[in-house]
Amino acid sequence: MPFLKLTSDFLFKTLFTQNPDLLVSLVNSILHLKSDKKLISLDILNPEIQKEILSDKLSVLDIKARDETGNIFHIEMQAFPQDFYSKRAAYYWAKLYFRQLNQGDLYSSLKKVYSINLLNFTVVPQKKRYHYTFLSLDKYDPQIKLTDDFEVHILELPRFKKDLENIQSDLETWLYVIKKSRRLKETDMKALVEKNPILEKAFVELDKLSMDAKTRELYEMREIGLHDYNTNIQSAFEKGEKRGIKEGIEKGKKRGDRKRTIRTAIELKKAGMNLDFISKITKLPIPWLEKFFQKVRIENITNGGNLSA
């Protein structure tokens, strides 16, 4: 039986909260920390997944964790595109940073917050890379940081396109597994473990979760909920689009009819018909016709022309 897909926020959170050592490996591969700065452990702050949350299409199944020095991590897998995701990522970072302080606490006690966003869609308007790291740097001298406390990572899975043979780093092995978990073959897994040994445990745990009936039930509940939500959004968009097209056609038709009516009024005026007669024929109000013909006459006198539309 193939593995369940790791681009599911439910399965992603389940795997990594149940196995913090795997999460440490993934985060270390993303942060590219020097050997003496690498994470040793992570304390998961929100390991639970309540069943009722799975049916809430707008709920966020993220991972919040803290390392041995007190730094905070927000790690999230997002499978479906979201408008304004960049602002959302910054907002989540800000919430975690703000919530560190209680009344009377000193600003010096604030710890760094890392925001790590793995996306199964693209948000950055650039096509050369799949991993972006955003910091608070000076506009004119990027060597100057406002603070070390801000760090937001965006990893776009659609832009990660390396073949197994060309994978070189631990990060690339993890992204390959996350992106292709359902299609991994025995030979693929063996090659990946040779490149990154901790993946042997990842595959064992993935197999357990994928075979577990309760996990599959909750996984499918989440997938159906998200699919239904996105289908409803798409359906509403298409209905709105069709309605907009119909309204646009009707407005265009009305504008065309009005232009033809005005041309008729002009031709009748040229033929010497009075305003009462023109109004009866065109259904245009006499006060409007008076202002219109006065405006047209003034413009044509200025331009040296004749009465015309």
- Dihedral of alpha carbons 74, 79, 81, 82, sign: negative
Confidence of residue 240 (pLDDT cuts 50, 70, 90): low
**Which pLDDT does position 301 carry in this prediction?**
46
23-40 mean pLDDT? 93
- Tell me the per-residue pLDDT of 4-30, one tens digit each, with 9 for 90 and over: 999 999 999 999 999 999 999 999 999
Q: What is the mean pLDDT of the chain?
A: 87
**pLDDT above 70 as % of the chain:** 83
Do residues 73 and 118 lie in contact, with contact meaning Cβ atoms separated by under 8 Å?
no
**pLDDT above 90 as % of the chain:** 59
Residue 55 in this model has a pLDDT that exceeds 80: no
Predicted TM-score (pTM) above 0.85: no
> Residues near 143 by Cβ (< 8 Å), separated by ≥ 6?
137
